Every structure is written in C-alpha cells, then in structure tokens.
Amino acid sequence: MTQDLHFLTITQASVLIRTGKLSPVELTKAYLDRIHRLDGELHAYILVLGKTAMDEARRAEAEIAGGDWKGPLHGIPIGLKDIYNTAGIATTGHSALFKDHVPNEDAVTVQRLRKAGAVILGKLATHEFATGGPSFDLPWPPARNPWNLDHQPGGSSSGSAAAVAAGLCMAAMGTDTGGSIRSPAAWCGLAGFKPSYGRVSRRGILPLSFTLDHAGPLCWTTEDCALMMQALAGHDALDPGSADKAVPDFASGLRGDVKGLRVGVIRHFFETDLKAEDDVVAGLESALNTLRALGAAVTDVTLSPLSHYNKVTSLISRSEAYAIHERYLTTTPELYGELGRRRLAAGAFVRASDYVNALRHRTRLVAEMTAAMQDHDVLMLPTKHQVAPPFRLEPAVREPSFTQPFNVTGFPALSVCSGFSANGLPLSLQIVGRPFEDAQVLSTGDAFEKATMFRAARPAFAAALASAAQ
Amino acid sequence: MTETEFIARLKEHGLVIPETEVPALQAFVEDLERAAEFVRATERSYAEEPSNVFRLPS
C-alpha cells in the first residue's frame, strides 16, 4: 500500500489487516520511520521500542495469517503515556526521579492491549508524574502541539495527544486525574475518553490521586476509542476502585444518530463561572446547532458553581498526591522539576479535616450531578475555555477547569473536535454521561463526528516536515 | 503568613525548596487554603451521612 498509512484510523486499518490487504509489519515500519523523521521536532516519545515493536508486528502478522485474528486491535501500533508500567522497560513518569525505574510487570491495561494484539511503539511524554508541566527542566523536553509547534499540546497526556494527532501512532493511552486525557485531546483535535470511574483498571499505572485517577484512550476518532475500550474495560479485583460491571459492546453501541437525545448544556460554567474565549463559545454553539439539526433536544442545566467542583477536586488531588510523593519530596526534592515540586509539595499544607470534608462534599456533588442527569441523557460544555496557548510560564495558582467536575464525580466524559479557531487551532466539545453509560457518550461523540467534517483536517506540521524531510 | 513563616512551615514538613521557588509555592498553598475555607464553611448536619470511604470486601 502506498497511501498515508500513518493517517489510517483503527477502524480502517483493522479491516485491511484482517483481510490481508495491510501488513502489520509494513504498518509498524511506516510508523517507526515517521517517528524517526518527525519526532525530533515534536518530542512526543521518551522511548521508541523499535525492535520489540517489529517483533510484535511480525508475530501479529503470523498469527493473522494462521487464522488467529484476535480482534480490531490486532497488529495496530499504539503508544503508552510513560506512567504505564511496562515489564523490563523503563517507566519514568518523565522524571529524573524515576529515570531508572524498570517495572517487573505490565500494567493491567497494557496486558489487555497486548492480549488484543496491539503493537507497542513506545513510551510517550507526559507532564512530570502526570502533574508537573509543561516543563523544560526535566530529562526530556516537553511534547509540542502538531497544529502549531509554538503552542502547548495540553497535558498531562501531552505526548499521547501529540503523537496521535501527528500520525506517530494510531492510538495512545493517557490518564486523567483532572482532565489529563480530555485537555490534550481538545488542544490537539482528537477524541479523548475518560471512562466512568471503575470501568478501566489503574493497577500498574503510576498513581497521582487514588480516588480521581482514570485511564483511557486518545484516538483520531470516537469510533477508535470504542474499539480501544473493548479491550481495556473490565473488572480488576486487585484495583480497589474497579467496578464489577458487565462490559457492553462499545462498537455496536455506536448507533450513528442522536434523534431524541436529551442534551443538557451547563451554560453557566462557560458563560459566567469561567468565561470561555469567543471562538470556543462559537464552536460550542455551532456544535449544538448540529445536534439540534440531527434531532437532539437541547436545554440548559444548572449545577453548583464551577469553583465548588474545582475546589473540592484540588483539595482531594493535592492531598492524595502528597501522600504518594512525600517520601521522595523530603529526601530527593532536587530530582523533581520546579513545577512538579511545587504542585506536589503544596499538598503538605492541606489539613486532614479539610481533606475528609472535601470527600464529604464530593458526595453532594455526585448527588447533584446525578439529579441533573435524570432529565438528560448527556451533558455538554467545551472541554477547555481557551484554545491551545503558546508555551509560557505557568500561573502560580490553580486554573479553573471544565474537566475536573467529571473526575470528582467519576462520570464518563469524552472530548471531541468541534472545529477550528480563527488561528487554526482545534476547538472542543465535551460530552458527559451517567455512570457506566460510557456507550451512550461514545455513541453521541461518534454521531457528531460523522455529521461534521472536522476529522478530515490533519495538522499541517506533519505534512510540512514530511515534505521537508523527503 | 510572611515568607519567613512559610519557610519555617516548609521545614516542619521536612521540605527543602529552593528560595527562588518559595513565592510561587506560597501562592499555590494560599489558593489551596481558600479552597479549604470553602469546605469548612459548608453547613452540614452532624449526622448528614455515614462515612462511605471504607467498605469491606463483599
């Protein structure tokens, strides 16, 4: 095949692979070549696993040729945020502190992806320990946004988003404690899915906040996220946050239409609580009009002010993160970058009673959001209040966030591309569902993507650098 | 809290932070303190809810 293999979706590639029209070896080699050519500018990868990836691709090819096709991920090249443990392969957290950390076993999610036949291309850049970034004082540079290299890709799953958007892997795994899958997906123009809390095991992923951490995929399309979810979802008795719930067929749950769907728009979040940029609001209104035209019923919904969600999330996340990092911060603080050190050390100052009362308040927020969803199938709002900003000094204090409310409540949330700003950067739509109605969220995102043309545009960076390199 | 007092509190926690980073960390901590004031100010019945953060395996 001579077409741009690196821009195939999983949905497209898996059909070609199954029918013998595309070789996993050829596909993996195309990605490795592209990483070699382009990642010097993008910095999406911390470690490229060229040899093992080719071995895995050859094994997949032999298995498929022998009639043992494992499913849509068989032979599909993916990347892992470098906080996913990989047996015998360094898992650094993008930090000097864990530079030489080599786990003995794969994270449960990695085991499941391997079982599904995925090919692991490498380990991807992240903000330090999924919190401290973007930073220039770490052993590896921060990933850049392929839509404009001077702009941030978002984080903390920065390399995951940059790599998928630039065609340096077909899908990637991220984690999301306060928005770390959805934010980079939004700024890099991808579909990024944070499943319901408990839907995907976190065991073997470097933790940041035990009760807020979620694992999930970043892909070019929502349909691809559904295919990834099929391999990832399922109970893990050894992850205390994992839920013993039946796993639906996510792909067949993509109904392709939203007729009769009841959409609640949390308008006060982005109009008054944290005023979004004009382009962002215009993009959201346009998306809502598309959904109305497809038959959805759109009404506004009111929750507590956004700041309530953000404050409760911050107290919980900083306390839990400090509990994890205290022994390192007090013994080898010099091994952290400045941003990571600051964000993690701050948790030392949260009083125990404040943490416990934040947890108590959390139950109120869950109850409030549950009530709001009685009359709505999904909630919608922008994923980010602004498009990807240039690299700059980070603000000293917390920034309000449209993503945290769905970490603190655990509801499933998806970010999809909803157009482009005047300066050519992706806009985003966030779709939220009821707990364990992940399939409804994915179905809505898929229908929206298929009714719009935003999946046709790829970052110009990739084309420009590719032609320069040829 | 003055910067000197803040540095003393850092030491109590066993944290040694480069001096140049102290103002930004202090601002971050003060922001967290405002979040804490919010949860402290929230009215709750003494018997509003049982603890739901501990559960025996079933």
What's the rounded Cα separation, in Å, for the pair A9 and A72?
A: 11
Q: Where are the beta strands (DSSP E) in A125-257?
A: 171-176, 191-194, 214-219
A81 in catalytic set: yes
- Each residue's pLDDT, cut to its tens digit, for chain A (470 residues) gives 546 899 999 999 999 999 999 999 999 999 999 999 999 999 999 999 999 999 999 999 999 999 999 999 999 999 999 999 999 999 999 999 999 999 999 999 999 999 999 999 999 999 999 998 899 999 999 999 999 999 999 999 999 999 999 999 999 999 999 999 999 999 999 999 999 999 999 999 999 999 999 999 999 999 999 999 999 999 999 999 999 999 999 999 998 899 999 999 999 999 999 999 999 999 999 999 999 999 999 999 999 999 999 999 999 999 999 999 999 999 999 999 999 999 999 999 999 999 999 999 999 999 999 999 999 999 999 999 999 999 976 665 667 899 999 999 999 999 999 999 999 999 999 999 999 999 999 999 999 999 999 999 999 876 666 565 55
Whether B27 and A358 lie within 8 Å, measured CB to CB: no
Q: Where are the beta strands (DSSP E) in A114-245?
A: 119-124, 171-176, 191-194, 214-219
Whether B15 and A329 lie within 8 Å, measured CB to CB: yes
Give the helix/strand (H/E) hosting A160: helix A158-166
What's the rounded Cα separation, in Å, for the pair A261 and A376?
A: 8
What's the rounded Cα separation, in Å, for the pair A272 and A150?
A: 30
Whether A363 and B17 lie within 8 Å, measured CB to CB: no
**Residues A15-43 as b or e (16 or more Cβ within 10 Å = b):** ebbeeeebbbbebbbbbbebbebbbebbb
Q: Work out how many CB contacts closer than 8 A connect A with B.
A: 84
Disruptive mutation site among B5, B11, B25 for chain A (greatest number of A CBs within 10 Å): B25
Tell me which chain A residue has its CA closest to the CA of residue B35.
A311
- How far does CA A154 lie from the centroid of its chain? 10
Q: Which residues of A touch B (CB under 8 A)?
A: 307-308, 310-312, 314-315, 318, 329-330, 333, 338, 341-343, 345-346, 348-351, 354, 357-361, 363, 396-398
How does strand A77-81 pair with strand A171-176? parallel
Q: How many CA atoms lie less than 13 Å away from A98 in the CB half-sphere? A: 21
Burial of A11 (0-12, 13-18, 19+ CB in 10 A): middle
Whether B28 and A346 lie within 8 Å, measured CB to CB: yes
In contact, A155 and A82? CB cutoff 8 Å: no
Question: Which amino acid makes up residue A316?
Answer: I
